[in-house]
């Protein structure tokens, strides 16, 4: 069944209005008509099973048949803090992180980040594109929320945000005891807010790890192999998904 997202103010007691670019997609691409069934999500964890009543050039109106909690969300909210990689790798990371259940993605300028975003207008355009990628990935994977892609954080702002999490982890190539990783992952269902901090291509500086530890962010190993930045976050998210899936 085709899935669409709308703002909460478009949801009424008995019907929902769809406006914007989805109208053209429904009418001219999918060629849905009156009587067809669709799922509409409010982006806050509720799915509305609907039957299309009316299709016009500017609006699709659908009658609400049933309302259910989205079954696709993990029981804990995971925020992925990602050191900005080169080229288009961050777009892949966003897409796959959303598919794996991340609730929030935060790009971070660490000491060894090569990418420089000094133009505010360019940064805003990138942020709009990143958020659009998150939305498309949410649609494709049947998510009940649209994960937010936050504005670019400095390393210190990222540390502050992570320190407010119930559990904060930082995969680090010099960490060695895999039993600590297993122990922490075995208990993650006890935490409602979890943060994971992944370094850029050059990894973290030792001073950054030291500062992270001072803020109760736990270094962990993901194994004996050194993973690329676009692999590390997806690896730890996959492990977490396995432990949190109900």
For the segment 211-222, the average pLDDT, to the nearest whole number, is 95
Instruction: From residue 214, give the alpha-carbon distance in Å to each of 119, 166, 175, 221, 235.
Output: 32, 15, 16, 18, 25
**pLDDT at site 198:** 96
Q: What is the pTM of this model?
A: 0.87
**pLDDT at site 48:** 95
Q: What is the pLDDT of residues 27-50, one digit of tens each?
A: 999 999 999 999 999 988 899 999
Tokens (6 digits) for 179: 């039993």
Domain covering 77-244, topology: Alpha/beta knot (3.40.1280)
Domain 3-69 has CATH 3.40.50.1370: no
Provide the CA 82 distance to its chain's centre, in angstroms.
11
For the chain, give percent helix, strand, coil, nearest 5: 35, 25, 35
For the segment 213-234, the average pLDDT, to the nearest whole number, is 94
**pLDDT at site 132:** 94
With tokens 């370094």, the residue in question is 199
Quickly list H helices, the chain: 21-24, 89-99, 120-141, 155-163, 178-186, 206-214, 229-244
Indicate if the alpha-carbon torsion angle 96, 98, 101, 102 is positive or negative.
positive
Q: What is the pLDDT of residues 122-138, one digit of tens each?
A: 888 999 999 999 999 99
**pLDDT at site 133:** 96
Q: Could you give phi then psi for residue 204, rounded to 5 degrees?
A: -90, 150
Contact 90, 107 (CB under 8 A): yes
Residue 182 banded pLDDT, cuts 50, 70, 90: very high
Q: At how many degrees (to 10) do helices 155-163 and 206-214 cross?
A: 30
Residue 118 banded pLDDT, cuts 50, 70, 90: low
Q: Does position 148 have pLDDT exceeding 70, yes or no?
A: yes
Percent of the chain residues past pLDDT 70, beyond the cut: 100
The overall average pLDDT reported for the chain is: 93
d(CA 134, CA 176): 33
For the segment 132-149, the average pLDDT, to the nearest whole number, is 92
**pLDDT at site 220:** 96
Strand partners, 15: 63
Residue extents of the structural domains in the chain = 3-69, 77-244
**pLDDT at site 114:** 77
């Amino acid at each position: 069944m085709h899935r669409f997202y709308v703002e909460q103010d478009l949801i009424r007691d008995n019907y929902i209005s769809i406006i914007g670019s989805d109208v053209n997609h429904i009418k001219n691409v999918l060629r849905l008509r009156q009587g067809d069934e669709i799922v509409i999500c409010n982006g806050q964890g509720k799915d509305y099973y609907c039957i299309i009543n009316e299709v016009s050039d500017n609006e699709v109106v659908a009658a609400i048949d049933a309302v259910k909690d989205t079954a696709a969300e993990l029981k804990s909210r995971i925020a992925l803090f990602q050191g900005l990689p080169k080229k288009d790798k961050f777009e892949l990371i966003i897409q796959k992180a959303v598919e794996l259940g991340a609730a929030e993605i935060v790009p971070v300028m660490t000491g060894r980040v090569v990418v420089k975003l000094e133009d505010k207008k360019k940064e805003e355009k990138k942020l709009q594109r990143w958020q659009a990628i998150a939305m498309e990935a949410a649609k494709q994977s049947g998510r009940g929320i649209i994960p937010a892609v936050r504005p670019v954080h400095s390393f210190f702002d990222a540390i502050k945000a992570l320190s407010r999490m119930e559990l904060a982890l930082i995969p680090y190539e010099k960490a060695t005891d895999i039993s600590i990783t297993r122990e922490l992952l075995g208990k993650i269902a006890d935490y409602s807010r979890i943060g994971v901090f992944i370094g850029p291509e050059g990894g973290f500086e030792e001073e950054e790890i030291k500062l992270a530890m001072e803020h109760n962010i736990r270094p962990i190993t993901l194994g004996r192999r050194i993973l690329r930045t676009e692999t590390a976050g997806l690896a730890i998210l996959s492990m977490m998904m396995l432990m949190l899936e109900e």
